Amino acid sequence: MSFNKNTLLKNKDAIAKGIEDATDLCHGLAVDSGWWNGVDVNAPFVIPTKLCLVHSEITEAMEGARKDLMDDHLPHRKMVEVELADAMIRIMDLAGAMELDLGGAMVEKLIYNQERSDHKLNNRAKSNGKKF
């Protein structure tokens, strides 16, 4: 399958729905596990704390990649893979708590990025182009 703006436009509703379903699942499991008991998402420091937890998963993923480690809890998987999954779970949980349209925003952002000049391969290859 070719991935481009036309593919995104053709499949945007299905892609957004899949992300919405995953967000509902992650947030629902967190709620059922008691992680939101007595927590008001709009209270001071709740969102910053949750964002720091996402960051901690990304940091763990970086260490796993840097040291080429296998995961402690899922030893058949690379640590980077599992920690990136943890980050996605935390992001989707927070998006669910905040009632954000994460799926719609992701699809719109992917489509937007297809049009950005600084995302074009020939512009990135220039001397002052984005390297990463």
Q: In whole angstroms, give the CA distance from residue 49 to residue 67.
A: 27
For residue 131, the Cα-to-chain-centroid distance in whole angstroms is: 22
Q: Is 11 exposed, middle or buried (0-12, 13-18, 19+ CB in 10 A)?
A: middle
Model pLDDT, residue 129: 82
Model pLDDT, residue 37: 98
Residue with tokens 């399958």: 1
SS3 70: strand
Residues lower than pLDDT 70 in the chain: 1
CB 94 within 8 A of CB 26: no
Model pLDDT, residue 3: 80
Model pLDDT, residue 76: 98
Q: For residue 2, give both structure tokens.
A: 């070719």
CB 108 within 8 A of CB 79: no
Model pLDDT, residue 1: 62
Model pLDDT, residue 115: 86
Model pLDDT, residue 38: 97
Q: In whole angstroms, give the CA distance from residue 48 to residue 128.
A: 34
pTM score: 0.90
